Structure 1
Amino acid sequence: MKMTLPNKLTLLRIIMVPFFVAALLYRDGTDSLARWLSLALFLIASFTDFLDGYIARKYHLITNFGKFMDPLADKLLVCSALICFVALQDLNPWITLAVIAREFIISGFRLVAAERGIVIAAGIWGKLKTVCQMIFIVLMLIQSNRGILSILTVVFMWLMLALTVISLVDYIWRNREVLQEG
């Protein structure tokens, strides 16, 4: 298998996850330099998500590997961040559980599809959910407890949850034939 630039960017995002987590959890999230480093790593990783998709579409480098690994890399990055926020007691666990449950359901759905030789790319609702999650995480990393940023953080938290449910329902509905027997 030839490794395309978009696929290399996806792998880079996966490699960045443990460094992001280490920076975020350093000294229980209280070290401001480490917190800013975690923000920088998250922003770079998020940009690779945009960049790999853009390059893959523009230069017709879409691969089955990319269709599978790109959403997985997103899940690793986002779920790692949300789990860290729970560990730091910055986020209610049920919010993280809802997001992770959706990701497990979609992953299971993709496995069933793959077993049937079907590769399912992400839809618009899933992409909007991912963008919203990334904005929410950036706002959480900035960690402002006052003013407009605090309000935006709450708005994006609820938007993220709504898009989590909408994208799950849309994904299953669009691909419901995967669940049909025979």
Structure 2
Amino acid sequence: MNPLRMAPNLLTFLRICLAPVLIFAVIERRFAEAFALFMVAACTDLIDGLLARWLHQRTLIGQYLDPIADKLMLSSLFLVLTLMGIMDPRVTVLVFGRDFGMLLTALILYVTIKLRDFHPSLLGKANSLCQVAAVGAVLLSQFDQQSWVLYTRTVMLDATIWLTVLSGFHYGWVASRRIGLIVDSTSGSGSGTNTSNR
């Protein structure tokens, strides 16, 4: 197998391996190192996505591992930074609440009607981007107190709050619409079958 074709998944594995090292650096308050590691992880996320599209290597394992790697790193950072008194707890509660709600909804839909192909929305992608920018700005502000850094931190955290709420409601709306379509199509096929049997 061409090693280049394995590169997207290898980068995803690298991001997963970086997560505990990054968390340890934050706990040890080595914020400059933590920020550098976070930027490396963010770059691997960008590069593996571009490589997967360029090489047409969107594997099943990659589709599962990529969001897991992102959530593992971001959720861990939100939690650790909050426990250390650095991150606003309200942001973390909203982020975890949205993710838990989406996970629970997806699980219920899969168990009940086998619905599982939820694609990320534009709002969801914007929310993920804001979360990355917010965590990066928070880490940077721990060793760089320039006004633009503090301003960026405030803006990104506020944007994360709003986009977390909006994307959560949007996810619920999309899920309810898809359930309605499935129910309507099932009812329609059922009535058609009954009519044909008369």
Which range, TM-score by smaller chain?
Answer: 0.7 to 0.9
User: Is the counterpart of residue 50 in structure 1 residue 46 in structure 2?
Assistant: yes
**Aligned mates of 1:175, 1:169 — CA distance in 2:** 10
Question: Which among 113, 116, 132 is matched to residue 118 of structure 1?
Answer: 116
1:84-123 matches, cutoff 5 A: 84-115=80-111, 116=114, 118-123=116-121
Give the TM-score normalised by structure 1. 0.84
Partner of 1:142: 140
Offset of residue 60 of structure 1? 1.7
Q: CA deviation at 1:171?
A: 2.5
Whole-angstrom CA distance in 1 between matches of 2:60 and 2:10: 14
Deviation at 1:111, TM superposition (A): 3.1
Shift of 1:145: 4.3
SS in 2 for 1:118: coil
TM-score, L = length of structure 2 = 0.77
Partner of 1:6: 8
1: CA distance, partners of 2:17 / 2:8? 14
Where does the alignment leave 5 or more consecutive residues of structure 1 unmatched? none
Note the residue ranges of structure 2 that are not aligned, 5 or more in a row.
187-198
2:175 corresponding residue in structure 1: 175
Structure with max Cα Rg:
2
How far, CA to CA, are the matches of 1:101 and 1:4 in structure 2? 34
- Per-residue CA deviation, residues 121-150 of structure 1 (Å, 9 max, x unaligned), is 322221111111111111111114451221
Task: Look up the equivalent residue of 1:151 and give its one-letter code.
Answer: Y
The answer as to whether partners of 1:67 and 1:121 remain within 8 angstroms in 2 is no
Measured in 2, the distance between the counterparts of 1:50 and 1:35 equals 22
**Per-residue CA distance 1:15-59 (angstroms, 9 max, x = gap):** 111100000111xx2xxxx21111111111111111121112222
**Structure 2: distance between partners of 1:108 and 1:171:** 12
- One-letter amino acid of the structure 2 residue matched with residue 132 of structure 1: C
Cα shift at 1:11: 2.0
Classify 1:57/1:174 alpha carbon distance in 2 versus 1 (closer, same or farther; 3 Å): farther
What is the DSSP-based 3-state SS (H/G/I as helix, E as strand, rest coil) of the residue aligned with 2:85? coil
* Identical-residue share of aligned pairs (%): 27
CA contact (8 A) 1:71 1:122 kept: no
Q: What letter matches 2:170 in structure 1?
A: D
1:130 to 128, 131, 145: 128
